[in-house]
């Protein structure tokens, strides 16, 4: 018989810890869930009416159980002591220095969270790796926990990677394709896994809750992200061929996707993928392959990231060459700064790379995004530590409070994020055309615009994956 979990603690109140544990609390009213973070401002925001992340449906879920069985706190020790099961959902960014810099995951936050659990715990715990980590990290966590545990205390370690996508996090959590739980194949390991299965069974069918060994579970997370990103790089590579030949990438994608072996999802050509995880997790896989002395495997996956960089650069080159090979002093309106629609997250957003390239061409850039905070945009476009940079930046870059304000007096409009409000049905492109310099160019990096209609207004339109 396995243990019934009554109290859960989650270390890390970020994009994953917050929504995931809020849904767990909403669907398990008899389980007490406490989400803790070292960042007091973030916790204060979770306890306010203005949640720290924008995610459709999140407000309702949090409001339905906050103060009942869902709590946000900075009291990490208390939450650890009380919990039977602890999610570790802290950040695992790419290392910026030292061995593996630029590729390997920085496991410093995972390790310090693990040490903290060992130091504070006064009874047995199930420790769940929720963060995305390299294969065999659970082994290191066990080693640290066992070496630092108080006498007689037992820890079980599970891997339970998260597959939610931002912008659809609540829908993904409520109705996931699968939940994956990895454990040691021992009696204690299987019993710990069964305890976590019970939590998810609060709203998910048993057959969708998959259990595997620890290492398969850890590797599956990296594999799934690598395969998803690979599809985008594949269609983006084809978009370059389309532009040069007269094929239309949306048509190619649609026709390929009808083959049930290929399927239609994740085949939308774009200016490039962004987000905090695809690039980081692929580089992590590249590093893992290299450490295992598998250079061919490493090179294979690395190409997915290189193709993505190429796609961003190619798009900027197209803008430059269409605008008569000079952007100096021209105004470019950037519509959308988030890495995808329905999120305010800008981590690794292609818009950041684009703005940097455009700035180097001495263009004046006006940015509009419906959800990204102005301070975030300045942070993304400045190099940390360079103080006079912001003043210099603001001579070239401005932030607009509407799409129209960004487009006023512009030579070109560039759609970087597929927000619904930029679609032809929502934005009055006649009005946009009237207020722009002529010839008026539109570059659609997301394939959301109606090219024919825009051309009939008078625009010169350039779409990813359609011939020039």
Q: Which residues are catalytic?
A: 277
Q: Which does 42 bind (CB under 5 to 8 A by kind): ligand UGA, ligand NAD, none?
A: ligand NAD
Tell me if 218 contacts ligand UGA by CB under 6 A.
Answer: no
Dist. CA 96–CA 86, nearest whole Å? 28
| 277 belongs to the binding site for ligand UGA (CB under 6 A) | yes
In order, the DSSP letters of 423-449 are STTTS-HHHHHHTS-SS-EEEESSS-S
Are 390 and 371 a contacting pair, CB within 8 Å?
A: no
Q: Which helix (H) or strand (E) holds 460?
A: strand 460-463
Q: Is 113 or 277 the residue whose CB approaches ligand UGA more closely?
A: 277
Q: Count CB-CB contacts under 10 A for residue 69.
A: 18
C-beta of residue 137 within 8 angstroms of C-beta of residue 158: no
Q: Is 327 in the site for ligand NAD (CB under 6 A)?
A: no
**Phi-psi category of 258—alpha, beta or left, where left has phi over 0 and alpha has psi -120 to 50?**
alpha
Query: Considering the complex, what minimum distance in angstroms separates the CB of residue 275 from ligand UGA?
Result: 3
| Residue pair 393/378 in contact by the 8 Å Cβ criterion | yes
Query: In the complex, what is the shortest distance from the CB of residue 195 to ligand NAD, in angstroms, rounded to a whole number?
Result: 21
- State the Cα–Cα distance between residues 72 and 88, nearest whole angstrom: 15
Quote the least distance from Cβ 225 to ligand NAD, whole Å: 8
Measured in degrees and rounded to the nearest 5, phi and psi for residue 444 equal -105, 105
Residue 269 annotated as binding site = yes
Among 26, 27, 34, 42, indicate the residue that binds ligand NAD (CB under 6 A): 42
Peptide bond just before 439 cis, omega within 30 deg: yes
Comparison of 164 and 410: residue with beta carbon closer to ligand NAD:
164
Two structure tokens written together for 187:
């009696």
Q: Give, as ranges, the residues between 5 and 34 that touch ligand NAD (CB under 6 A).
A: 11-17
Under the criterion CB under 6 A, does residue 91 sit at the interface with ligand NAD? yes
List the interface residues with ligand UGA, window 332-361 (CB under 6 A): 339-340
Contacts of 34 (CB under 8 A, 6+ apart): 7, 8, 9, 10, 70, 71, 72, 73, 79, 82, 83
Q: What is the DSSP letter of 83?
A: -
Please tell me whether residue 365 binds ligand UGA under the rule CB under 6 A: no
- Binding to ligand UGA by residue 311, rule CB under 6 A? no
Nearest-angstrom CA–CA distance, 421 and 91: 32
Q: Which of 18, 274, 445, 465 binds ligand UGA (CB under 6 A)?
A: 274
Nearer to ligand UGA, 127 or 304 (CB): 304
Q: How far is the CB of 347 from ligand UGA (least distance, A)?
A: 9
Phi and psi at 383, nearest 5°, equal: -85, 130
- Which one, 100 or 167, has the nearer CB to ligand UGA? 167
CB of residue 2 vs ligand UGA: minimum separation in angstroms? 27
Footprint on residues 147-176 left by ligand NAD (CB under 6 A): 162, 164, 166
- Residues in the site for ligand NAD, rule: CB under 6 A? 11-17, 36-39, 42, 76, 89-92, 109, 112-113, 116, 131-132, 162, 164, 166, 276-277
Binding-site residue ranges for NAD(+): 12-17, 37, 42, 90-94, 131-132, 166, 277-280, 347
Binding-site residue ranges: 12-17, 37, 42, 90-94, 131-132, 162-166, 221-225, 261, 268-274, 277-280, 339-340, 347, 446
């Amino acid at each position: 018989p396995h243990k019934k979990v009554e109290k859960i603690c989650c270390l890390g109140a970020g994009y994953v810890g917050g929504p995931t544990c809020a849904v767990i609390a909403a669907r398990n009213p008899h389980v007490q869930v406490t989400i803790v973070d070292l960042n007091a401002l973030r916790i204060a925001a979770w306890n306010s009416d203005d949640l720290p992340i924008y995610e459709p449906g999140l407000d309702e879920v949090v409001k339905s159980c906050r103060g009942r069985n869902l709590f946000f706190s900075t009291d990490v020790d208390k939450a650890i002591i009380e919990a039977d099961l602890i999610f570790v959902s802290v950040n695992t960014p790419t290392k910026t220095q030292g061995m593996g810099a630029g590729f390997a995951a920085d496991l410093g936050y995972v390790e310090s969270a693990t040490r903290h659990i060992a130091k504070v715990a006064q009874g047995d715990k199930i420790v769940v790796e929720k963060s995305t980590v390299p294969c065999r990290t659970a082994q290191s966590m066990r080693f640290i926990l066992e070496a630092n545990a108080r006498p007689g205390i037992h820890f079980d370690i599970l891997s339970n990677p998260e597959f939610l996508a931002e912008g659809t996090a609540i829908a993904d959590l409520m109705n996931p394709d699968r939940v994956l739980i990895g454990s040691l194949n021992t009696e204690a390991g299987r019993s710990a896994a069964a305890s976590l299965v019970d939590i998810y069974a609060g709203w998910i069918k048993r057959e969708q809750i998959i259990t595997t060994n620890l290492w398969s579970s850890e590797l599956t997370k990296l594999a799934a992200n690598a395969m998803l990103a690979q599809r985008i790089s594949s269609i983006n590579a084809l978009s370059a061929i389309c532009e040069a030949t007269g094929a239309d990438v949306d048509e190619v994608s649609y026709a390929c996707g009808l083959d049930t072996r290929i399927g239609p999802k994740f085949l939308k050509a774009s200016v490039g993928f962004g987000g905090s995880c695809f690039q980081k997790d692929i580089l992590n896989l590249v590093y893992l392959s290299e450490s295992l002395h598998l250079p061919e495997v490493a090179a294979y996956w690395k190409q997915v990231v290189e193709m993505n960089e190429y796609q961003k650069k190619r798009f900027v080159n197209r803008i430059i060459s269409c605008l008569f090979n000079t952007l100096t002093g021209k105004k470019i309106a950037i519509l959308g700064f988030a890495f995808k629609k329905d999120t305010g997250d800008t981590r690794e957003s292609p818009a950041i790379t684009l703005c940097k390239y455009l700035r180097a061409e001495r263009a004046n850039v006006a940015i509009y995004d419906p959800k990204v905070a102005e301070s975030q945009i300045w942070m993304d476009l400045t190099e940390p530590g360079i103080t006079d940079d912001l003043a210099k930046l603001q001579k070239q870059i401005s932030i607009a409070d509407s799409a129209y304000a960004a487009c006023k007096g512009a030579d070109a409009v560039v759609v970087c994020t597929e927000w619904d409000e930029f679609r032809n049905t929502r934005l009055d492109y006649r009005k946009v055309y009237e207020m722009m310099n002529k010839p008026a160019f539109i570059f659609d990096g997301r394939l959301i615009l109606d090219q024919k209609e825009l051309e009939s207004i008078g625009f010169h339109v350039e779409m990813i994956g359609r011939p020039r």
